[in-house]
Every structure is written in structure tokens, then in C-alpha cells.
């Protein structure tokens, strides 16, 4: 059986991949700096907070759009 990916699923998968790469790959060494301080917080902490917020919002969107549900995609095909 061939899987079909909608544009929304591709955006969600791409965003998840981007978020995890930015948090868990050696790219974190680019952000591993104290300066610049943003509102008194070191740059590394702000980097982590921003990417975690990005992933949280992305998971919320995925949940609200029934991202992994097969039954929704079948019902939408019937419409």
C-alpha cells in the first residue's frame, strides 16, 4: 500500500526534523555562547527555549489537525 503525504504532513514532518536538528545536533555548539545576553538570559538558554516553543506549537498544530489519524483522512476523501 502506498502512503500519500499531504502538504500539511510534509510541513509538520519538516518542522519536527528542523526543530530536533536545531536542539540535538552539533549545531548547538554555534549557540553555546553566553553573549549576547537577551533580557539577562544567556544566548544558549534563549536558543533552547525558542526551539522548544517552536516544537510545542508544532505538536499542538499536529494534534489539532489530527495529524496521524487515518480515519480523518478517509472521511475527508469521502467529502
54: in domain: yes
22: in domain: yes
pLDDT of 9? 84
Distance of CA 24 to the CA centre of its chain: 13
pLDDT of 43? 85
Look at the chain and report how many structural domains it folds into. Answer: 1
The pTM of the whole model exceeds 0.85:
no
Using DSSP's 3-state secondary structure scheme, residue 55 falls into helix
Convert the pLDDT of each residue in 27-73 to its tens digit.
888 777 777 888 888 888 888 999 999 999 999 998 998 877 765 55
Residue 61 lies in domain? 7-65
Pick from 48, 44, 13: which is nearest to 31 by CA?
44
CA distance 8 to 68: 11
72: in domain: no
CA distance 69 to 62: 10
First-residue to last-residue Cα distance in the chain = 22
Nine-digit cell string for 32 = 553555546
Amino acid at each position: 500500500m502506498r502512503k500519500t503525504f499531504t502538504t500539511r504532513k510534509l510541513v509538520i514532518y519538516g518542522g519536527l526534523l528542523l526543530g530536533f536538528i536545531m536542539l540535538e545536533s552539533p549545531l548547538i555548539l554555534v549557540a553555546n555562547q553566553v553573549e549576547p545576553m537577551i533580557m539577562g538570559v544567556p544566548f544558549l538558554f534563549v536558543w533552547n527555549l525558542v526551539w522548544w516553543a517552536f516544537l510545542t506549537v508544532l505538536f499542538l498544530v499536529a494534534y489539532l489537525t489530527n495529524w496521524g489519524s487515518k480515519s480523518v483522512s478517509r472521511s475527508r476523501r469521502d467529502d
